[in-house]
Amino acid sequence: MFLTIGMPTYDDFDGVYFTLQALKSYHDLTDVELLVVDTKPKFCEDTKKVCESIGASYYHRPDCQGTAPAKNAVFELAKGKFVMCIDCHVLLVKDSIKKLKEYLKKNENTKNLIQGPLLYDDQKNTSTHFEPGWRGHMYGTWANDPRAISEEEFEIPMQGGGLYCCRKDIWPKFHPAFRGFGSEEGYIQEKFRQNGGKAICLTFLKWMHRFGRPKGVPYPLSVVDRIFNYIIGWTEIGWNHREVINYFNGKVTQEEIFKAISDSSKIIGNPVPTNSSEKNAIKVKAYIIGRNSEITEQSFQKIKWNKEKEYMLGANLKSVLQKFIDEGNDYAFICKGNLRLEKNINIMIDYWPLIKTGQAKITIFDQINKSSLKTKHSQLSYKIADVDELDDAPLYFISRDFAQKVLDDYKEGSEFSYICEKEKIVPFIYTFEENVLRLRMQYVPLPNVDGGLSVEAVREIVWAANNSYCLDISSEGLQTTIALCQKGLGVVRVDEYKNLSKEQLEKSIKSFNYENFILTDKNDDFQAPDQNLRTLLINYKNLSQELIDFSLLKQENFLRSGDCLIIVKADEEVLDIYKKSEKLKLIKSSDDYLILKKL
394 in the same domain as 284: yes
Burial 279-291 (b: 16+ CB within 10 A, else e): beeeebbbbbbbe
The whole-number pLDDT of residue 547 equals 59
Query: Do the domain assignments include residue 254?
Result: yes
Distance CA 559, CA 526 (A): 11
What is the domain range of residue 235? Answer: 223-268
**Sign of the CA dihedral running 39, 42, 46, 50:** positive
**470: which residues sit within 8 A by CB, 6+ positions away?**
438, 439, 440, 441, 464, 490, 491, 546, 547, 550
Among residues 188, 213, 197, 232, the alpha carbon closest in space to that of 85 is found at 188
480 and 505 belong to one structural domain:
yes
Per-residue pLDDT at 259: 81
Residue 8's nearest CA partner among 241, 181, 252 is 181
The secondary element (H helix, E strand) that includes residue 166 is: strand 163-167
User: Rounded CA gap, 576 and 188, in Å?
Assistant: 24
Question: What pLDDT is recorded for position 436?
Answer: 24
Amino acid at 438: R
Q: What is the predicted pLDDT for the residue at 173?
A: 93
CATH number at residue 385: 3.90.550
Residue 58, domain member (yes or no): yes
Residue 406 domain-assigned (yes or no): yes
Examine the domain organization and report whether 352 and 494 are in the same domain: no
Strands (E), 455-583: 472-473, 492-494, 518-519, 535-539, 564-568
Radius of gyration of the chain (CA): 30
Q: What is the pLDDT of residue 477?
A: 30
Domain boundary pick from 161, 178, 209: 209
Give every CB contact of residue 350 below 8 A, 6+ residues apart in sequence.
273, 279
| Shared-domain flag, residues 279 and 423 | yes
Q: Let me know: does 498 contact 521? Beta carbons within 8 Å.
A: yes
* Side chain identity, residue 17: Y
Nearest-5° Cα angle at 283, 281 to 289: 165
Same domain, 46 and 168: yes
Are 196 and 132 in a shared domain?
yes
pTM of this structure: 0.54
Residues 320 and 194 in one domain: no
Q: Return d(Cα 449, Cα 483) in angstroms, integer.
A: 10
Q: Is residue 132 part of a domain?
A: yes
Question: Length of the chain, please?
Answer: 599
Q: Are residue 68 and residue 191 in the same domain, yes or no?
A: yes
The partner residues of 50 in beta bridges, in order of sequence, read none
Q: Where are the alpha helices (H) located in 383-454, listed in sequence order? A: 400-409, 416-422
What is d(CA 249, CA 424) in angstroms, rounded to the nearest whole number? 37
Q: Are 160 and 184 in contact (CB under 8 A)?
A: no
153 and 120 belong to one structural domain: yes
Residue 403 lies in a domain: yes
- Alpha carbon 561 to its chain centroid, in Å, reads 28
92 & 158 share domain: yes
Would you say residue 47 lies in a domain?
A: yes
Would 309 be classed as within a structural domain?
Answer: yes
In a domain, 216, yes or no: no
10 Å Cβ neighbour count for 564?
20
Distinct helix (H) and strand (E) counts, the chain:
21, 26
The torsion angles phi and psi of 369, rounded to 5 degrees, stand at: -90, 170
Whether residue 199 sits in one domain with residue 297? no
Helix axes 13-26, 45-54, angle to 10 degrees: 10
Pairing of strands 90-92, 207-209: antiparallel
Report the domain count for the chain.
4
Residue 227 three-state SS: helix
Tens of each residue's pLDDT in the chain, 599 residues: 999 999 999 888 888 999 999 999 999 999 999 999 998 888 888 999 999 999 999 999 998 888 899 999 999 999 999 999 999 899 999 999 999 999 999 999 999 999 999 999 898 899 999 999 998 889 999 999 999 888 899 999 999 999 999 999 999 999 999 998 888 999 999 999 989 999 999 999 999 999 877 776 666 778 999 999 999 999 888 887 878 888 888 788 877 887 888 788 777 754 333 333 444 456 788 888 777 778 778 777 766 677 788 888 877 777 888 899 999 887 787 776 666 654 444 433 433 333 333 333 333 433 333 222 222 222 222 222 222 223 344 566 677 777 887 888 877 666 665 665 565 443 333 322 222 222 222 222 222 223 333 333 333 333 333 332 222 332 233 333 333 333 333 233 333 333 445 455 455 444 433 333 333 333 332 222 333 455 566 666 655 565 566 666 656 655 667 776 777 777 787 888 888 888 888 877 776 677 788 88
Same domain, 47 and 176: yes
Helix, strand or coil for residue 319? Answer: helix
CATH of the domain at 55: 3.90.550.10
